[in-house]
Amino acid sequence: MTRPLLLLATRNPGKIAELRGLLAAWPWEVVGIDEAGFREPLEEPGPGYLESALAKASTVCAATGLAALADDSGIEVDALGGWPGPMSARWMGEEASDVDRLHGLIREVDRRTPDDRRVRYVCVAVLARPGAEALIGRGECLGTLVDPRGTNGFGYDPAFLSLDLGVRFGEAPEADKARVSHRARAIARLAESGVFAQPPI
C-alpha cells in the first residue's frame, strides 16, 4: 500500500533531518519540497512564529494539493524580552551563517545581560491539508546559553544547555534531543489529534 505524502515546507537540511526522525513512527512518506519539485520561495511574513509557519505550510499545500508541514522556531533570551525570537534565523541578515548567528548571540548576551543567560527554544508547527483546517502545535524547552560545544543538531544547539538533559543539544544524542526539544514537543501536540495516524483528507 502506498503511503500518503507529507511535504516538509522547509529548505533547512537540519530541520528536514530532525522532522523525518520525529515523524518516522507514522505511516507517511515524508518528502522535502525540493525533492517534490516545489521551487517557489517560502515567505516568512511574521511577525510571530505562527504567521510564518502558517504561510509556509499553506503555500505549499495550495500549490501541490498535498499535506504540508512547516514550523517556525527560535531562541528567546529571557532577560532581553524574548529577543531574537522569530528573528533568530534572520537578525544578522540573510548572508549570515548558523555559526555567525551563534557567536553573534553569545556576544550580545555577554555585552547586554551577562548575569542572566536563561533562554528558551520555541517552535510552532503547522500542518496544512487540502480541504481541511490547519492544525497547530506549539512546543518549548528551557535552557542556558553557554560556550558552544558539540557538533550535533544545528542552529544554536551547540550553546543551548538543556535543563531537561543537563547537556548541550550540540552534544546530546539525537534520540535524547528528540524526547525534549521544542520541535519534538510541537510535533507531539499535533500528533495528539491523531492526524499522523490517518491518511490525509
The catalytic residue positions are: 72
Alpha-carbon gap, residue 4 to 27, rounded angstroms: 7
For residues 168, 169, 173 and 178, what is the CA-based torsion angle, rounded to 10 degrees? 140
Nearby residues of 10 by Cβ (< 8 Å), 6 or more positions away: 16, 19, 32, 33, 42, 56, 70, 71
Query: Does residue 106 sit in helix, strand or coil?
Result: helix
Provide the 10 A C-beta neighbour count for residue 46: 15
Alpha-carbon gap, residue 190 to 194, rounded angstroms: 8
